Structure 1
Amino acid sequence: MHLTTMLGLYGALLTAGVRLPDPVSGTWWMQIPLRLLAAAALTGVLVAAFRVFEKPSGARESRAPRAWAGPAAALGATLVAVHVTAPASMARMPAGRALVERAGRAARG
């Protein structure tokens, strides 16, 4: 659901005419926390809305669910994902930038 949310968020920004900054620019890096918070909030709303449909039919809970259980689980999963994927992404970023710059120089001649 998080990818759907992120694509929806970018679609809404582009539809609203918001000009997105160039990737890996200073402005781009400064906006990342805001975009992640917006996507996390929207994901929480969507999880809460679709939770009813994902429960198997005939399943009964032994007691009323706590209101904070869903958001807490989403936060925990996000923290685990960032801990696992962020170092690998950061390690690959210089190589990606070098490839983009190399392709740009080759295109210019």
Structure 2
Amino acid sequence: MSPPLATLPLAPAIGIGLLAGGAVGLLHFVGLRYTVRLLAAGRTGLALASQGLRVLLSALLLAALFHFGLAALLAGFGGFLVARHVLLRDRAAIHAPPPAGEPRP
């Protein structure tokens, strides 16, 4: 018989939260890009289904992390935000304007 999940030590709970939050955060924000493209293409039904799936997956993750304890839940939020930052930084680097004085390609 395994011990209850909420009795995990602090370090494993934080590790599980960061990894799970980061993975689901990457899926969430890549899915957001896909949802926006669907909306721009006029495919509203698929866009709403994609939005619902993203929100449901994120909510399920946070509910699951809650069972590992508050530290895992907070680390999951942190992993989610780190994934958002990484994806936004990646997109900003691709679409960054050229420095002043350089001609545009």
So what's the TM-score if we normalise by structure 1? 0.35
Larger Rg: 1
So what's the TM-score if we normalise by structure 2? 0.36
More RCO (CA 8 Å, sep 6+): 2
